[in-house]
């Protein structure tokens, strides 16, 4: 016996747009610091690399990508759970990143971005002179 649930289609649409723990949103990401670089890995399986667009405006990085429908127009879909269409994500970057030196590569459905830490944000030593003429170094962060 099948039960009719009028809200199921609305729930499925909300899951596709907002994501859930079981089904995350369309562009999940990991980010970490590796030496003097920040690394971002965004999952974009099934996306044509030519459809990926990256842009930086001030300190906001925008990633846009499109996953096209693989089924033809004259088919009857039995299940349609893979998100498709145009996706975008914006990342607010700190002032300590050199946005003019971003590198990107796309491999096996993962877009990897590498952003160097700006020189002024790296730890450095500051020399302090004392009255006796001796110099000491102090770490400045």
Domain residue extents for the chain: 24-70+81-140
pLDDT at 63 > cutoff 90:
yes
Q: What is the CATH number of domain 24-70+81-140?
A: 2.60.40.790
The 10s digit of each residue's pLDDT in 65-115 is: 998 888 888 888 888 778 888 888 999 988 888 999 999 999 999 999 999
Question: Which range, 2-6, 44-48, 71-75, is most confident?
Answer: 44-48
CA 114 to CA 98: how far, in whole Å?
10
Q: What is the pLDDT of residue 70?
A: 81
- Res. 18: pLDDT tops 70: no
Task: Give the pLDDT of residue 101.
Answer: 93
């Amino acid at each position: 016996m099948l039960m009719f649930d009028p809200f199921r289609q609305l729930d499925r649409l909300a899951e596709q747009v907002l994501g859930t723990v079981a089904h995350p949103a369309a562009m999940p990401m990991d980010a970490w610091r590796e030496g003097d670089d920040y690394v971002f890995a965004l999952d974009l399986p099934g996306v044509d690399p030519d459809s990926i667009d990256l842009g930086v405006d001030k300190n906001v990085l925008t990633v846009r990508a499109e996953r096209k429908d693989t089924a033809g127009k004259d088919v009857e879909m039995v299940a349609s759970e893979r998100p498709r269409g145009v996706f975008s994500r914006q990342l607010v970057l700190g002032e300590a990143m050199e946005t003019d030196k971003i590198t990107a590569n796309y491999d096996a459905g993962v877009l990897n971005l590498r952003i160097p830490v700006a020189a002024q944000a790296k730890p450095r030593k500051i020399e302090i002179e004392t009255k006796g003429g001796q110099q000491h170094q102090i770490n400045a962060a």
